[in-house]
Structure 1
Amino acid sequence: MNQKQLLRPVADAAALSAPLANYNTADAVEFLNTLELQRAAETLAALSLPRAVKMLEAPELHRSGELVAALPPARAAALLGLMADDRATDIVHELDEEERARLIPLLGNEARQTIQKLLSYPPNTAGALMTTEFVAVPATWTVAQTLQHIRQVERTRETVYAIYVLDPANQQLQQVVTMRRLITGLPEESILDVAQVNPPVMVDAQMDQEDVARLIRRHDLLAIPVVDAQQHMLGIVTVDDILDALIEESTEDAHKFGGMEALDKPYMQIGFFEMLRKRAGWLSVLFVGEMLTASAMQHYEDELARAVVLTLFIPLIMSSGGNSGSQATSLLIRSLALRELRLRDWWKVALREVPTGMVLGAILGCLAIVRIVIWQLGGFHDYGEHWILLAITIGAALVGIVTFGSLSGSMLPFILKRLGFDPASASAPFVATLVDVTGLVIYFSIAAMILHGTLL
């Protein structure tokens, strides 16, 4: 887009911003998301700097990076410089190398250094999520001095609900004071007198965001300090930032669990060919896997020719094994994500899933036997003179297949995690494909044992 198109006369700017005049920030963001990129960028350029900053800071705003890239460089740099450091860094992350090289030199020294520092931390870590805009005061201050300082800086801080008390000698984090304790303290009291009793909870910049979230939840915090090896404060991770990050991560896991690559944009903003690329890879892998199912059936072609009745129950057998495997995988992925289980617990899970699978298989097997008996005696279908043996075969096969499905579905997340992959990659379709192939082998092996000398 030609950037000169964004330099509208005042009348045009007023016309562009008019639709947002009566909207709060959330509604204005939703409206901006409905506009085409060029129109959205023109509207953003027409807004006052404070209003535009609020909208860009909203995590619900789509195409933030594209919008900033479409603005005139001076305007884009001004907005990034006024934004919260962590959110500005997120937007810079979305820009390509050329756009970064164009915009970062235009930022003020402090903003530029902060953003470059935050960009250096690995994704999904405390360092990548943190903001450097926090309230910190020396331990020698009084309550009155601290309150006066907050009045002066509160507009430039991410949050003022936690005040971080630093040792004036070495600048190490010494204590944390909540706003509630601060305003209930006497003006002449030392800031340390109203600080919390327990040592402050802090994290390393390299800590994974899931571990950060767990600490925030465990200690019921609104923000958690990020420190270096000498306990010097680097920044804070706020609860809203960690929630946004975890929502994004859970969305990625949901996509992976559905058997596709994670989408990095809202569904309606994904191009046709990009959507094909995201879905075709895994779908092709699963298709190749299902070819093994066809190969397994070809291996038992003679048995199928002699006992065609066995084919009637193949869908039942395959779906039951896949369903049990998907259940176990879902449970284990969630438990591993919440750290309810560790890799070393795999054998405990195996000992638990084997009897669970056997009982579940027995339940399904009994239901299958009852169904065959009712259909045979009720005259709905004739399964032949050996229908009792057929019913026993189906029941026994379901016990074996559901047990195998539960065991393999529970072990696969452990294997992937041990190999360094995301356990969410153990998608339900992937587990179902695995169990389909082995399920046929189990089914026909049991049929060969029970029906040998009769149907086979």
Structure 2
Amino acid sequence: MTDAAIASRLGHEHVADIVEFLNGKTAEEATGVVSHMPLKWAVEVLDQPQFHDACEVIEALPQEKAVGILEGMSADRAADVLRWIEEPAKGRLRDALSPEAQVAIDHLLTYPEGTAGALMTTEFVSVPSNWTVQQTLDHIREVERSRETVYAIYVLSPGTRRLVNTVSLRRLISGNPGDSILSVANPYTPITVPPNLPQEEVARTISKYDFLAVPVVDTTGHVLGIVTVDDVIDAMIEEQTEDVQRMGGMEAIDEPYLEISFKEMIKKRAGWLCILFISEMFTASAMQFFSDELEKAIVLALFIPLVMSSGGNSGSQATSLIIRALALHQVRLRDWWRVALRELPTGITLGTILGVIGIIRIVVWQQTGLFDYGEYWKLLAVTIGAALIGIVTFGSLAGSLMPFLLKRLGFDPASASAPFIATLVDVTGIVIYFSVAWLFLHGTIL
């Protein structure tokens, strides 16, 4: 089927289905299909953040059509696309845009990625505060097609054009046509965000006030743009994906899994694996330090995987809980001591539960003849139980405090990946295990 035929068939599909279809094609194939779409369809498709190859398609299309699509797209999406197109193609496309589009896109590109300014769109509906409800409704009918959304109307001072108040679309259509626009405005001071606010804080504001959009206002009170809830959701999904990948012990990947090249996959994963492998060498060094004890009581080696994995698992649990709590502002940096006081008894209790299970396991195996742990099996059981309490408690404390340390040093707390915590607890777990073993078994099998 030709590209023109495919484009014609896709014209009857929902835009989300069209994007999903094109994402299954190569950038070259997607470009061929988009090139045969009417301009209105192409704008709608490339305006979707879920479309992976937007930059490649825009760069490969004939300049006239590419410029037409960019000017038809929402300003924030067009800025995102141009941000990742390299020169000289980027400059050529920008220069071909209308002066209004250039100003809007250039303005958005000045804000750092991941901030309210980078997320916002400059296409919103605003009216003077001396207008009536009817004038506002008439204005919306005139400009609706050129605005990304009409979730709310932003009421500005006629003279200074500073934000006075906001009016929800629902309150607007329920107002009397002849009444002042301010008569249907919100009864509270407008909720706004500054342009440099991190996108996580923007998302928290939208969630707290149950907004569909929030205005971005500068220090002089002028509206720079609005951040819509759909843009926030897209940004947070991307951010959470990166955090999950970091917690898994690898660099963040921007592309879908099946589209990542073999070279890129190795590049993203090898570095962290090498760091973790080198870290695990300290575990081997710790075990070598206790090699004499292992020679005297080889039975201790049987339980090394058991006690080490328990500490790593408890540390990973604590890390996951604290990273989420920090992200949701349920805890702050100053709360580290409160977290430590909470995790200490938690770790002791969890360690005790695992210790009891470990002791029961040794007793059952010894009494049923499944394995003979020797003359001092009872002391061995107590050793395993006590070691589990110590290692799980340390794992819980280390796992809960590591995100605080990384955040204090300016790193992303998600970098406290589960493998990293597990490696840390492995090294210290060996020391704790053999120290407890020497304490309980010295003079017997040691």
Whether these two folds match at TM > 0.5 is yes
1:308 corresponds to which residue?
298
Deviations 1:161-218 (A, max 9, x none): 2000001121110000011111111111000011110111001000011111111111
User: Which residue does the alignment assign to 1:159?
Assistant: 149
AA of the residue aligned to 1:341: V
Alignment partner of 1:298 is 2:288:
yes
CA contact (8 A) 1:323 1:432 kept: yes
Kept in 1: contact 2:4–2:33 (CA 8 A): no
Query: What is the rounded CA distance, in whole Å, between the counterparts of 2:129 and 2:81 in structure 1?
Result: 36
CA distance in 2, matches of 1:358, 1:437: 19
Q: Which runs of 5+ in 1 are unaligned?
A: 1-10
Deviation track 1:219-246 (CA, whole Å, cap 9, x = no partner) reads 1111000011011000000000001000
2:404 is aligned with 1:414: yes
Match of residue 131 from structure 1: 121
Mapping for residues 400-439 of structure 1, pairs under 5 Å: 400-439=390-429
Hey, what does 1:360 align to over in structure 2?
350
Partner of 1:182: 172
Aligned partners of 1:13 and 1:47 also within 8 Å: no
Q: Please tell me whether the aligned partners of residues 353 and 410 of structure 1 are also in contact (alpha carbons under 8 angstroms).
A: yes
Question: Could you tell me how far apart the structure 2 residues matched to 1:290 and 1:51 are?
Answer: 54
| Separation (CA, whole Å) in 1 of partners of 2:84 and 2:57 | 10
Structure 2 residue aligned with 1:206: 196
- The Cα of 1:68 is off from its aligned counterpart by 1.1
Q: Counterpart of 1:86? A: 76
Deviates more, 1:273-282 or 1:152-161: 152-161
* 8 Å contact from structure 1 (residues 175, 200) kept in 2: yes
Residue 364 of structure 2 corresponds to residue 374 of structure 1? yes
Q: How does 1:332-351 map to 2 (within 5 A)?
A: 332-351=322-341
C-alpha distance 12-403 of structure 1, shift in aligned 2 (>3 A): closer
User: Pick from 147, 154, 160: which aligns with 1:170?
Assistant: 160
Cα distance change, pair 363–187 in 1 and its aligned pair in 2 (3 A)? same
Moved more, 429-438 or 11-20: 11-20
1:251 corresponds in structure 2 to 241
Residue 20 of structure 1 deviates from its aligned partner by: 1.2
2:21 corresponds in structure 1 to: 31
- Which of 124, 131, 138 is residue 148 of structure 1 equivalent to? 138
Contact 1:139 1:168 (8 Å CA) reproduced:
yes
Separation (CA, whole Å) in 1 of partners of 2:256 and 2:2: 30
Quote the residue 1:120 is aligned against. 110
Matched, 1:76 2:55: no
Alignment-mate amino acid for residue 179 of structure 1: L
Q: Secondary structure at the match of 1:204?
A: coil
Alpha-carbon distance between aligned partners in 1 of 2:351 and 2:2, rounded to the nearest angstrom = 70
Structure 2 distance, partners of 1:279, 1:424, is 16
Q: Which moved more, 1:87-96 or 1:313-322?
A: 87-96
- Partner Cα distance (1:53, 1:302) in 2: 72
User: When the two structures are superposed, what TM-score results if normalisation uses the length of structure 2?
Assistant: 0.99
Which residue of structure 2 lines up, in the alignment, with residue 216 of structure 1? 206
Q: In structure 2, do the counterparts of structure 1 residues 401 and 75 end up closer, same or farther at CA, with 3 Å as the change threshold?
A: same
Corresponding residue of 1:227: 217
**Residue number in structure 1 paired with 2:43:** 53
Which residue number in structure 2 is paired with residue 5 of structure 1? none
Counterpart position of 1:8: none
**How many residue pairs are counted as aligned between the two chains?**
446
From 272, 276, 283, the counterpart of 1:286: 276
Q: Provide the alpha-carbon RMSD of the alignment.
A: 1.1
The counterpart of 1:41, out of the listed 26, 31, 43, is: 31
- The 2-side partners of 1:453 and 1:98 are apart by 77
Residue of structure 2 equivalent to 1:3: none
The Cα of 1:94 is off from its aligned counterpart by: 2.1
- Whole-Å Cα distance in 2 between the matches of residues 52 and 311 of structure 1? 64
Tell me the equivalent position of 2:85.
Answer: 95
The letter for the 2-side match of 1:70 is: A
2:354 and 2:388 in contact (8 A); partners too = yes
Runs of 4+ in 1 over 4 A off after TM superposition: none
Q: How far is 1:119 from its partner? A: 0.7
CA shift at 1:76, angstroms? 1.2
* Distance (whole Å) between structure 2 residues aligned to residue 207 and residue 433 of structure 1: 35
> What letter matches 1:409 in structure 2?
G
State the match for 1:6 in structure 2.
none
Structure 2 residue 263 is the aligned partner of structure 1 residue 273: yes
SS state at 1:203 partner: coil
- Given residue 428 of structure 1, which amino acid in structure 2 is its aligned partner? A
CA-CA distance at 1:16 after TM superposition: 4.4
Does the aligned pair in 2 maintain the 1:16–1:42 contact within 8 Å? no
Report SS of the residue matched to 2:88.
Answer: helix
Aligned position for 2:376: 386
Counterpart CA distance in 1 for 2:271 and 2:62 is 38
What are the Cα deviations for residues 42-87 of structure 1, in whole angstroms up to 9, with x where unaligned? Answer: 1101101000000001122111111111112222111111100011
> d(CA) in 1 for partners of 2:411 and 2:142?
48
Q: Distance in 1 between matches of 2:151 and 2:294?
A: 71
List gaps (5 residues or longer) in structure 2: none
CA contact (8 A) 1:143 1:190 kept: yes
Output the amino acid matched with 1:362. Answer: T
| Alpha-carbon shift at residue 18 of structure 1 (Å) | 2.7
Partner in structure 2 of residue 238 of structure 1:
228
Partner of 2:312: 322
Q: Which amino acid aligns with 1:321?
A: G
Distance 1:172 1:370 in 2: 72
What is the CA distance between 1:13 and its match in structure 2?
Answer: 6.1
Identity %: 59
